Amino acid sequence: MISDQNGFTKIINLVLIMKSIPSISNEINEDKIFEIINKNFSKLAPAYFSLVTNWLIRSYSEYRNIEKFIILIYLINKDLILFRKNGIIIDYDTFYKDKSLEIPKINISDISRDLLIPKESVRRKIEALEKERVIKKTGKKIFIERSAYVTTQAKKTLEEFSILVSKFSEILASEKISNKAFNVSEISNSIKENFAFCWYHFYKFLFVFTNRWKTDTKTLDLETICIGLIVLINTVENKNFKNKDFDREIFFKEVKKNNQVGMNAFSISDITGIPRATVVRKLEFLIKNKFLNIDKKKLYSFSLNIKTKQFKIIKKLQDKNMISLSSFLYRVFNQINLISTN
């Protein structure tokens, strides 16, 4: 961002000039994307669950509180919304090059409503971010300082995001729906070129995803969700399960059958960075509510009998999450596909 002689902030608009009009036949229908995800879920599951779970782990590592971090990216996302609304294309390098990022006025009520965090909790976390000089007020303007701005920089997340989209493109190519499978490097470069657009949709997906897990499972805190997903990934990454070809319905039934390889609280604490005592307390909540099981060796695994209320909750939640994932991939993949095949 630069300022003119009158002090007004101007945004450099990086216009993507198309050499020819993209073929609309290259766009892939959102319903078709949903169908493909359901049919090939076990192929996407490792990349999908790794992306969201590792994002939660990294979020916790920054401030020892996921909600504090998610409030920060919510504020950053206000700029992405502004760029999108005004048709402004910002690439990755441009977005992260300045010493600070100006953000709109902070509205506690909006944050509380949109992120499902109590107002007083939002207020305390905003005050903490100001005290830590993450958020800085200069006159009537509000800035996120570079020290914190860089902590939100999409590095590892960008790589995992690209792996997910690349895997999805491979599936589309194998199903003869797309003419080309894009490798991870191609996807990453395209996301960087269209960063503001792609990251707006990624954050939009994350906000919906985290809110839904909190409300539907009644866990209400993201650290508990992160711990539960770590146990799930342990099953998904199991060598006896990893390379199987399942649709989404069979996938979750097989998760239950493959829960013999559990995890202990120490390993979960080591992976997440969450103190062991806190991990144990949150595991107890998940056991009490029959989302997890514990064996005689104190190893935790999924406990989702298809006849239980918990299975129905998770199934309904995943049904809604798949609609959100389909919408997310529909927006991002078509943006990449239409530009790259032009």
Q: pLDDT tens, 46-67?
A: 899 999 999 999 999 988 999 9
Residue type, 255: V
- Residue ranges of alpha helices (H) inside the chain are 30-39, 41-63, 66-85, 92-96, 108-115, 119-131, 146-151, 156-174, 184-193, 195-217, 222-236, 248-257, 265-272, 276-288, 309-340
Of 185, 245, 306, 317, nearest in space to 46 by CA: 245
Q: Which residues, at least 6 apart from 258, have a Cβ–Cβ distance to it below 8 Å?
A: 235, 238, 240, 241
pLDDT of residue 314: 83
pTM (two decimals): 0.86
**Cα 329 to Cα 333: distance, rounded to the nearest angstrom:** 5
Quick one: pLDDT band at residue 9, thresholds 50, 70, 90? very low
The confidence score (pLDDT) of residue 18 equals 44
- Burial track 274-301 (b if 16+ CB lie within 10 A, e otherwise): beeeebbebbebbeebebbbbeeeebbb
Average pLDDT, the chain: 84
Confidence of residue 236 (pLDDT cuts 50, 70, 90): confident
Lowest mean per-residue pLDDT among 150-164, 248-262, 280-294: 248-262
DSSP 263: B
Which of 43, 52, 49, 53 shows the shortest CA–CA distance to 251? 43
CA dihedral sign of residues 256, 286, 115, 99: negative
pLDDT band for 239, please (50, 70, 90 cuts).
low
Domain boundaries, the chain: 27-94+152-340
Range among 201-205, 244-248, 255-259, 302-306 with highest mean pLDDT value: 201-205
Distance of alpha carbon 177 from its chain centroid, rounded?
26
In this predicted structure, the answer to whether residue 114 has a pLDDT above a threshold of 50 is yes
What mean pLDDT comes out for the span 249-259?
73
Q: Check: CB of residue 172 under 8 Å from CB of residue 28.
A: yes
- pLDDT at position 7 over 70: no
Q: Which helix (H) or strand (E) holds 210?
A: helix 195-217
**Residue 247 and residue 41 in contact, taking contact as beta carbons nearer than 8 Å:** yes
Min mean pLDDT across 88-92, 104-108, 243-247 is at 243-247
CB 272 within 8 A of CB 57: yes
Number of neighbours of residue 78 by Cβ within 10 angstroms: 15
What confidence tier does 261 reach under pLDDT thresholds 50, 70, 90? confident
> From residue 237, how far is each of 63, 222, 244 by CA, in Å?
28, 22, 11
Query: How many Å apart are CA 231 and CA 239, to the nearest integer?
Result: 15
Contact assessment for residue 18 and residue 24, using Cβ atoms and an 8 Å cutoff: no
Q: Which of 73, 248, 231, 232 is nearest to 153 (CA)?
A: 73
Q: Which tokens in the block code for residue 171?
A: 């599936």
Q: Is 313 a residue whose pLDDT tops 80?
A: yes
Tokens of 66: 């996921």
**CA proximity to 66, closest of 131, 107, 133, 121:** 121
Sign of the CA dihedral 226, 230, 231, 237? positive
Task: Report the pLDDT value the prediction gives residue 341, as an integer from 0 to 100.
Answer: 54
Lowest mean pLDDT of 218-222, 285-289, 326-330, name the range: 218-222
Tally the C-alpha atoms within 13 A of residue 256's C-alpha that lie toward its C-beta. Answer: 16
Report the C-alpha gap between 227 and 274 in whole angstroms: 9
Residue 183 banded pLDDT, cuts 50, 70, 90: very high
Mean pLDDT of 233-249: 74
User: Given pLDDT bands bounded at 50, 70 and 90, which one contains residue 224?
Assistant: very high
List residues bridging with 9 in a β-sheet.
Answer: 3
CA 103 to chain centroid, in Å, comes to: 21
Residue 21, classed as helix, strand or coil, is coil
What percentage of residues in the chain have a pLDDT greater than 90?
51
CA distance 260 to 237: 13
Confidence class for position 78, pLDDT limits 50, 70, 90? very high
pLDDT of residue 248: 87
